[in-house]
Amino acid sequence: MNASPVPRFGETPSVRRRLRRENLARWVFGAMAAAMVLPLVLIVGYLVVRAAPALSLEFVLDVPKRGMTEGGIWPALIGTVYLVFLSLLVSAPIGILAAVYLNEYARENWFNRVINLAVINLAGVPSIVHALFGLGAFVYAAQFGYSIISAALTLAIMTLPVIIASTREALASVPRSFREACWNVGATRWQTIRSVVLPNSISGILTGVILQVSRAAGETAPVMFTGVVFFKAVQRGDLLPYYLNEQCMALSMHLYTISTQVPGVKEAIPFATAVVLLTLVIAVNAAAIALRVYLRSRKKW
């Protein structure tokens, strides 16, 4: 009786060892990912459970009542929208244009190296330092006073380095062959940037800009020092409750205030405020991801 044939391409001991190592690495990296995600899920779940008694549409649209121990968060929510929108209105154009210059026009010399170093260092400056700068530069030196303008400009300065860095990365991702093809047919540098480079990098640029909304919405120190007030009386559901030269409320500051400075607040209100702020940040991040996926799907390369 003939013995069963041995497979010509069977697994060798070396292959089996590599497969075991690969499976082990997969499990280790999976455990590391779970270790990062699980605490976030637990924190969000805890906040939602504690916020459930107060969390409702009425809570979002109502104004604080009885010394901020009851009511809703509408003045703080609309104030946060004011601050974030105005800060991006300032930082996005400046950051994008600065990145275009640094990536497309700037030559390799000491001056541009100093600019690049300054951008990198500014991205790591603590927010309290930006707050003190905004206090001195906008509140006192520019004489804007404690106002929405001062707070928004401070947030713009804080988010500007990251917008510049993300935009440069998006511009650098466009193949150089695209630029050379345009130059070979007689297009100027600006025509190439406007017609080829920017359209093909717009997904990365917009993603970087939109993601800065998360940081601007959650910062407390920069706005607390420059334009956010403890309490501001506004009408329920009013979409235009503030002037730019006056102070406003903000969600981050409001959460700090009712958690530490106001006695007798209902237990669920601080948690509900935190959930609304977290929902705002998550919604903006989700919009950024969806926009990035959509714009990347339209690329031809």
CATH of the domain at 162: 1.10.3720.10
Residue 6 is assigned to a structural domain of this protein: no
Task: Tally the domains of the chain.
Answer: 1
What phi, psi does 70 have (nearest 5°)?
-140, 180
Residue 192 is assigned to a structural domain of this protein: yes
The per-residue pLDDT for 152 is: 93
Query: Three-state DSSP class for 230?
Result: coil
Q: Name 148's Cβ contacts closer than 8 Å, sequence gap at least 6.
A: 79, 82, 83, 86, 227, 242, 243, 244, 245, 246, 247, 248
The per-residue pLDDT for 156 is: 92
Residue 280 is assigned to a structural domain of this protein: yes
Residue 11 is assigned to a structural domain of this protein: no
Residue 237 is assigned to a structural domain of this protein: yes
| Burial grade of 184 (CB within 10 A; 0-12, 13-18, 19 or more) | exposed
Query: Three-state DSSP class for 108?
Result: coil
Residue 114 is assigned to a structural domain of this protein: yes
The per-residue pLDDT for 4 is: 54
Residue 189 is assigned to a structural domain of this protein: yes
Dist. CA 48–CA 166, nearest whole Å: 33
Dist. CA 237–CA 78, nearest whole Å: 9
pLDDT in tens, the chain (301 residues): 455 555 555 677 888 888 888 889 999 999 998 888 898 899 889 999 999 998 888 899 888 888 888 888 999 999 999 999 999 899 999 999 999 998 888 888 888 888 888 888 888 888 889 999 999 999 999 999 999 999 999 999 999 988 998 898 889 888 888 888 888 888 888 888 888 888 888 888 887 787 777 788 888 888 989 989 888 888 887 888 888 999 999 998 999 888 888 888 888 899 999 999 988 888 887 877 787 777 777 766 5
The per-residue pLDDT for 177 is: 87
What phi, psi does 242 have (nearest 5°)?
-125, 150
Dist. CA 151–CA 127, nearest whole Å: 12
Give the number of residues written for the chain. 301
Sign of torsion over alpha carbons 78, 81, 83, 86: negative
Parent domain of 278: 65-297
What phi, psi does 90 have (nearest 5°)?
-90, -50
Cβ-contact 91, 166 below 8 angstroms? no
Please state, as a whole number, how many other Cβ atoms lie within 10 Å of the Cβ of residue 78: 21
Residue 128 is assigned to a structural domain of this protein: yes
